[in-house]
């Protein structure tokens, strides 16, 4: 019996009562969430509810201090591990604001990442694979030798995150608003990219503000976050409800007073500026 439980536990991300602070300020207030490998889950919630904080914390960004709860992958707590150790155990994060590294080309960045993950390809194999994935994301080969995310448009950065997802093939991927700031065609391209990698081997947590991507990538489960907690979980019908009513009624049911503006999902093409202290650069920076 215990053996069976372990077998299930080994193939999922389990977040339990996770509490997180930034500079002494509490941002996550006991998050509970389970994402099994092989399933696609959506995480929705108003701006500022803590979705990105959760994503960064799962990957171990040093800005966030875990003050309570746990976060396990395949039964092992991630909390004592460095971000690279977590990534080498199969985790991946598509950043809401991907970081530029001037002077480091896309091809050499990914070569270093693959090497670190024990997947050594020949230069020829690597270039072949990258060309394939870049083409699938409807990007030009010239991106291979450009410096990663340096001078990329918002949409190009998001596509490049999906290129990396496809090349690195993690066991569990968190996509933090990879759909925001994309026009309809780009959104479809990115969604197709996600659908291509989706499968039994990969668990995916799609963090989104806007339900459109979920029309293309059907989630197995949907969670809603507000005020640093998961306040509702359900199936696809939860998305429809948010589309119809916004977040207000869900928030009220959880005893949270809606703040108005925050409750309205953003339109596509509108990308909120980075938060102070968020070192992802803004367009044109």
Partner 1 sequence: MSAIAPPSTRPAAEPLRPPWDEPPRLTALRAAGAEAARTLPWPSSGQGEDWRRTPQIDRLDLGSFHQPEPDRAGGGDMPAYLAAALREATAVSAAETVLGDDAAGHRGSGHGDAWAPGAVPLGEAWDRLPEAAHRLGAVLPPSSGPIVARNTARFAAATVIAVGRGDPPRTVHLVHGVEPGQVAWPRTLVVMGEGTECTLVEEWLGPPTPGEALCVPVTEVLVGPGAHCRHVLIHRLGPEAILLAGCRAVVDRDAAYDASWVWVGGAWGKVALAVALQGPGASTRLSGCAVGRASQHMDLQTTQAHEAPATFSDCLHRTVVRDRARSVYAGLIRVAPAAQKTNAYVQNRNLLLSPTAKADSNPTLEILANDVRCTHGATAGPVDRDQLFYCQSRGIEPQAARELIVGGFLADVVGRLPLLGLRAAAQGWVAAALGMGVGPEGAGAVRTAADAAPADG
Determine if 204 is a binding residue for partner 1 (CB under 8 A).
no
Q: How many CB atoms lie within 10 A of CB 255?
A: 8
Number of residues that bind Mg ion (CB under 5 A): 3
Residue 29 makes contact with ligand ADP by CB under 6 A:
no
| 3-class secondary-structure state, position 106 | helix
Contact by Cβ (8 Å): 177, 211: no
The residues in 50-79 that bind Mg ion, with binding defined as CB under 5 A, are 51-52
| Smallest distance from ligand ADP to CB 207, Å | 7
Q: Give the one residue of 26, 72, 74, 88 binding partner 1; rule: CB under 8 A.
A: 88
Tell me the CA end-to-end span of the chain in Å, nearest whole number. 55
Return the number of the residue (74 or 188) whose C-beta is nearest partner 1: 74
Helix, strand or coil, per DSSP, at residue 52: helix
Q: Is 111 in the site for partner 1 (CB under 8 A)?
A: yes
Shortest distance (Å) from residue 228 CB to ligand ADP? 7
34 binds partner 1 (CB under 8 A): no
Are 83 and 59 in contact by the 8 Å Cβ rule? The answer is: yes
3-state SS class at 234 = strand
Distance separating alpha carbons of residues 174 and 172, to the nearest angstrom: 7
According to the binding rule CB under 8 A, does residue 67 interact with partner 1? no
Give the three-state DSSP class for 248.
helix
Binding to ligand ADP by CB under 6 A, coded x per residue (else -) over 31-70, reads --------------x-xxxxxxx---------x-------
Query: For residues 22 and 6, is the Cβ–Cβ distance under 8 A?
Result: no
Phi, psi of 138 (to 5 degrees): 55, 45
Q: What would the two tokens of residue 283 be?
A: 């367009």
Instruction: Residue 224: name the closest of 66, 72, 51 by CA.
Output: 51
**Of 31 and 172, CB closest to ligand ADP:** 31
Q: Which does 27 bind (CB under 5 to 8 A by kind): Mg ion, ligand ADP, partner 1, none?
A: ligand ADP
Nearer to Mg ion, 163 or 225 (CB): 225
How many binding residues for ligand ADP (CB under 6 A)? Answer: 15
Interaction mask 45-64, partner 1, x per CB under 8 A: --------------xxxxx-
Cβ–Cβ < 8 Å for 284, 267 = no
Q: Among residues 223, 230, 202, which one has the least CA distance to residue 91?
A: 202
Interface with Mg ion by CB under 5 A: which residues? 51-52, 96
Interface with partner 1 by CB under 8 A: which residues? 59-63, 82-84, 86-88, 92-93, 95, 98-105, 107-113, 116-117, 123, 126-127, 141-142, 144-145, 147, 164, 168, 278-280
Interface with ligand ADP by CB under 6 A: which residues? 22, 25, 27, 45, 47-53, 63, 275, 277-278
């Amino acid at each position: 019996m215990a053996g069976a439980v372990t077998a299930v536990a080994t193939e999922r991300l389990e977040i339990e009562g996770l509490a997180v602070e930034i500079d002494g300020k509490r941002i996550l207030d006991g998050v509970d969430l389970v994402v099994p490998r092989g399933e696609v889950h959506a995480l929705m919630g108003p701006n500022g509810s803590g979705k990105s904080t959760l994503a960064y914390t799962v990957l171990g960004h040093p800005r966030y201090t875990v003050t309570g709860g746990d976060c396990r992958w395949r039964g092992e707590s991630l909390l004592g591990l460095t971000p690279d150790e977590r990534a080498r155990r199969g985790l991946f994060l598509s950043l809401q604001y991907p970081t530029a590294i001037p002077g480091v080309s896309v091809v050499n960045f990914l070569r270093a990442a693959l090497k670190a993950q024990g997947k050594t390809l020949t230069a020829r194999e690597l270039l072949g694979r990258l060309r394939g994935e870049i083409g699938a994301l409807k990007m030009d080969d010239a991106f291979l030798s450009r410096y990663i995310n340096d001078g990329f448009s918002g949409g190009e950065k998001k596509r490049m995150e999906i290129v990396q997802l496809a090349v690195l093939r993690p066991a569990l991927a968190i996509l933090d608003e990879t759909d925001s700031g994309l026009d309809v065609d780009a959104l479809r391209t990115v969604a197709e990219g996600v659908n291509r990698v989706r499968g039994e081997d990969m668990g995916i947590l799609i963090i989104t503000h806007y339900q459109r991507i979920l029309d293309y990538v059907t989630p197995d489960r949907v969670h809603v976050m507000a005020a640093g907690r998961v306040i509702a979980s359900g199936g696809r019908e939860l998305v429809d409800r948010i589309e119809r009513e916004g977040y207000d009624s869900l928030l009220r049911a959880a005893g949270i007073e809606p703040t108005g503006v925050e409750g309205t999902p953003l339109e596509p093409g509108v990308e909120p500026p980075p938060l102070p202290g968020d070192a992802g650069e803004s367009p044109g920076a």
